[in-house]
Amino acid sequence: MANLIGRWAFLIGVILAVIFGLVGVNQTIVIVLLILGLVIGLLNVTERETHSMLLSAVALVIVTALGRDVVASIPVVVNILNAILILVVGATIIVALKEMFHITKTR
């Protein structure tokens, strides 16, 4: 059940990130995307998927940061990239902390 909630949170989060990117990002939207990201990190990423998720998140953060500079003249695209980045950052923080806890617990 938690995995299903996590999957829906991810799908809804990406859709909302695109929609919010189109209309503009404000503080409330940042909080909503960050909370969705935290839910995704808690419920959607298993221990087996941790490495792949963290690697993908790092790649996405790098591409998003560089992509913003490339498309800086198109504010809507920059807003969408920022919104996706907020979502991913929330999930990444939780998954990274869970992995660090797991590493320290097993030694």
The amino acid sitting at 56 is: S
Digit-coded pLDDT (tens) for 1-30: 656 777 788 888 899 999 998 998 889 999
Side-chain-facing half-sphere of 24: CA atoms under 13 Å? 2
Residue 29's nearest CA partner among 38, 39, 16, 42 is: 16
Digit-coded pLDDT (tens) for 33-63: 999 899 888 888 888 888 998 999 999 888 8
Side-chain-facing half-sphere of 29: CA atoms under 13 Å? 20
Residue 14 is given by DSSP the state: H
**pTM of the full predicted structure?**
0.84
